[in-house]
Amino acid sequence: MNEFPIDEGVIKYRAVHERGDLFAHPLLGQLDDARTELFDLGLIGAYSNGIGYGNVSIRHQSGCIISGTATGGYRILGASQYCGVLDFDIHQNAVYTKGPVAASSESMTHCAIYQANPLVHCVLHIHSRKLWLRLLEEGYPSTAADIPYGTPQMANDMVSLVKDRTTPFGLLAMAGHEEGIVAYGQTILSAINQIKVLLDLKV
């Protein structure tokens, strides 16, 4: 078992990862297909400095199955590039993961949304400057601009935003995480279709 404390200024995000077999979840193929669609739209990918962005997950047991860390640049992942988040602790900013790869460092955000509404089964995190600015301008729910990404405050903000809504689907802007948007829904289709509607694409 390995521990990866990631120093983000004063905040310590702690991922306790155990190597394990890949997951055979019946919806994993559909999730990976949705991720490929988002990749082709440029909403998941890698910046010119090589840093990847965007990640996808589905609810699984008390956590989720999420795309692995540093996978943004790959068009198709397959089951071997996903990781299980078995448990998490928002207050301690810690996630407990198992799988063939380590989880995305944004996994806490996903877990916070699953915790906030038990009807949510898919969370998609994408990056787009254009859409991010538009959501902020149009007054979509957003996390506060002074809350940096990857902090317990961000996760807590997510929980209250999702809890406040009467529907188990929605779009959120992360004002303190440049270009960061989250779409979530009861199904993979409902989550991705909200992004497509925003882009005027056929759903």
Q: Judged by CB under 5 A, which of 180, 190, 192, 193 binds Zn ion?
A: 180
d(CA 12, CA 5): 6
Q: What is the number of the residue whose Cβ is closest to Zn ion?
A: 180
Judged by beta carbon, residue 25 or residue 141, the one nearer Zn ion is 141
Nearer to Zn ion, 103 or 203 (CB): 103
**Total residues binding Zn ion (CB under 5 A):** 1
At its nearest, how many Å lie between Zn ion and the CB of residue 127?
6
Least distance between Zn ion and beta carbon 136 (Å)? 15
Smallest separation (angstroms) from Zn ion to the CB of 182: 9
Smallest gap, in angstroms, from Cβ of residue 174 to Zn ion? Answer: 7
Residue 141 CB-density burial (10 A; 0-12 exposed, 13-18 middle, 19+ buried): middle
Binding mask 40-79 for Zn ion (x = CB under 5 A): ----------------------------------------
Interacting residue ranges for Zn ion, rule: CB under 5 A: 180
